[in-house]
């Protein structure tokens, strides 16, 4: 999409897309404004209440003051300090997954590593048995893909199954609390009231969906960079202190969340365009992060980039809750890879299948050729 983003930034930076019935915003400053200015651009879906969107009750799709109340219930579990306590568990998991991937005759980085890593971590935090992983992967994928599809008939049963599963888990914890996030949320109150079942389901669904495919894409997109520019991987191996740089530059260059929707509360100006009250606006993060006016040499992957103010995790009150977790997973994954893998490239004959949504940027498969240093 990147050549198209560039053209749009230059020629048509605020554009009405008839096919999705939404404004689309491409420049860094405009994208940041739309994502940050919650008083004018709401995160709540206009069709809230049709019961079909289980995230409608989640913090991602809520405006203040409810947003702050919901977020404060889980903020503590996601602070860098709390996340650091998962260090050894995640490191162990990373190395087990690498063992398995390196033993495969035909390794696929997405299937063998980048998918199970975040899924296992978030499932453990919530208290979902690891044995249900495949079901989760399926539901997550279907739900993300459906955001692109006006035909709801296929997705309704998925929401129902996923909702019923989560409901069952919540009931179990209600009867027998454990040391996990779901049990904590069952004890939580807002203004003296416990969360409703729909609130709880919204929480679980959001964490499962927001935390999985995004992190999978970050890892997969990094491997795409290594494959396209092997010199970058070689430099990292020589100097692993560049890991934070490579994570941030991958987040900027191949942003895992490509775009997020808002809708205008009231009539708004963006540049010389007037957005009417109630209209939808897509903030294209993937384009903002390639805006030359913000990032010199924006189309170049620069391991030594200074002042990388990318907005891959969003900006403002909805800034990604899971950013410290995604960063820790990324860091531990890369540390272990750099130690154990000498070169990693996409198989020359591989047919990569892009994830077919306007929201995320990544691929479904990544068959790789690996040489190890073991």
Residues found near ligand HEM in the complex (CB under 6 A): 35, 43, 59-60, 71, 118, 122, 206-207, 210-211, 214-215, 218, 256-257, 260, 285, 312-314, 318, 320-322, 325-326
C-alpha 257 chain-centroid distance: 6
In the complex, what is the shortest distance from the CB of residue 82 to ligand HEM, in angstroms, rounded to a whole number?
A: 12
| Residue 8: closest CA among 280, 287, 296 | 287
Q: How far is the CB of 259 from ligand HEM (least distance, A)?
A: 9
Tally of residues, the chain: 374
Query: Could you give the CA distance from residue 262 to residue 366 in angstroms, rounded to a whole number?
Result: 32
For the bound state, the minimum distance from the C-beta of residue 227 to ligand HEM, rounded and expressed in Å, comes to 19
18 Cβ neighbours under 8 A, 6+ residues apart:
none
Of the pair 13, 330, the CB lying nearest ligand HEM is at 330
H helices within the chain, ranges in order? 2-11, 28-36, 66-75, 80-84, 87-103, 109, 116-126, 133-146, 155-175, 181-187, 197-228, 230-238, 243-253, 285-288, 323-340
In 3D space, the residue among 147, 124, 150, 136 whose CA is nearest the CA of residue 205 turns out to be 136
Residue 139 to residue 133: CA distance in whole angstroms: 10
Q: Which is nearer to ligand HEM, 59 or 170 (CB)?
A: 59
Question: CB-wise, 2 or 369, nearer to ligand HEM?
Answer: 2
Q: How far is the CB of 312 from ligand HEM (least distance, A)?
A: 5
Residue nearest to ligand HEM (CB): 322
**Smallest distance from the beta carbon of 257 to ligand HEM, in angstroms?**
4
Q: Is 253 or 313 the residue whose CB approaches ligand HEM more closely?
A: 313
Q: Which residues contact 361 (CB under 8 A, 6 or more apart)?
A: 1, 217, 221, 254, 255, 256, 257, 258, 286, 355
Exposure pattern of 297-332 as b/e (b: 16+ CB <10 Å)? ebeebbeebeebebbbbbbeebebbbbbbbbbbbbb
Among residues 305 and 315, whose Cβ is nearest to ligand HEM? 315
Q: Report in angstroms how near the CB of residue 11 gets to ligand HEM at its nearest.
A: 26
Of 214, 204, 264, 210, the closest CA to residue 63 belongs to 264
Q: How far is the CB of 314 from ligand HEM (least distance, A)?
A: 3
- Residue closer to ligand HEM by CB (options 42, 146) is 42
* Nearest distance in Å: CB 348, ligand HEM: 28
The owner of tokens 């996409």 is: 346
Main-chain dihedrals φ then ψ at residue 202, nearest 5 degrees: -60, -40
User: 159 or 254: whose CB is closer to ligand HEM?
Assistant: 254
Measured from the CB atom, is 107 or 256 closer to ligand HEM?
Answer: 256
CB of 60 to ligand HEM, least distance (A): 4
Q: Smallest Cα–Cα separation from 42: which of 270, 275, 281?
A: 281
For 134, other C-beta atoms within 10 Å of its C-beta total 10
Our CB check for ligand HEM shows the closer of 112 and 248 to be 248
Please provide the distance, in angstroms rounded to a whole number, between the alpha carbons at the two ends of the chain: 38
């Amino acid at each position: 999409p990147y050549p198209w983003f560039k053209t749009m930034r230059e020629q048509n930076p605020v554009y009405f897309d008839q096919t999705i019935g939404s404004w689309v915003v491409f420049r860094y400053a405009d994208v940041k404004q739309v994502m940050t200015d919650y008083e004018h651009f709401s995160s709540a879906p206009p069709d809230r209440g049709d019961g079909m969107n289980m995230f409608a009750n989640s913090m991602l799709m809520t405006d203040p003051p409810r947003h702050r109340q919901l977020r404060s219930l889980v903020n503590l579990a996601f602070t860098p300090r709390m996340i650091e306590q998962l260090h050894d568990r995640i490191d162990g998991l990373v190395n087990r997954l690498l063992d398995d991937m390196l033993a495969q005759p035909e390794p696929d980085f997405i299937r063998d590593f980048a998918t199970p890593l975040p899924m296992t971590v978030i499932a453990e935090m919530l208290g979902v048995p690891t044995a249900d992983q495949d079901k989760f992967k399926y539901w997550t994928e279907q739900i993300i893909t459906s955001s692109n599809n006006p035909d709801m008939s296929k997705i309704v049963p998925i929401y129902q199954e996923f909702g019923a599963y989560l409901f069952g888990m919540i009931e179990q914890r209600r009867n027998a609390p454990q040391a996990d996030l779901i049990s904590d949320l069952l004890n939580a109150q807002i203004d003296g009231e416990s969360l409703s079942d729909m609130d709880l389901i919204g929480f679980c669904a959001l964490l499962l969906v927001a935390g999985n495919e995004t992190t999978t894409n970050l890892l997969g997109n990094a491997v795409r960079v290594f494959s396209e520019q092997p010199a970058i991987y070689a430099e990292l191996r020589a100097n692993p202190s560049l890991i934070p740089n490579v994570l941030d530059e991958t987040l900027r260059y191949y942003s895992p969340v490509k775009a997020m929707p808002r809708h205008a509360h009231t009539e708004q100006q963006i540049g010389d365009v007037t957005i009417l009250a109630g209209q939808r606006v897509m903030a294209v993060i993937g384009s903002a992060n390639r805006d030359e006016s913000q990032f010199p040499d924006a189309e170049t992957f620069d391991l030594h980039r200074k002042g990388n103010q990318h907005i891959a995790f969003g900006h403002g009150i909805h800034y990604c809750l899971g950013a410290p977790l995604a960063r820790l997973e990324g860091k531990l994954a890369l540390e272990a890879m750099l130690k154990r893998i000498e070169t990693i490239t996409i198989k020359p004959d591989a047919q990569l299948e892009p994830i077919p949504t306007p929201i995320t940027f990544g691929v479904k498969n990544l068959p790789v050729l690996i040489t190890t240093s073991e």
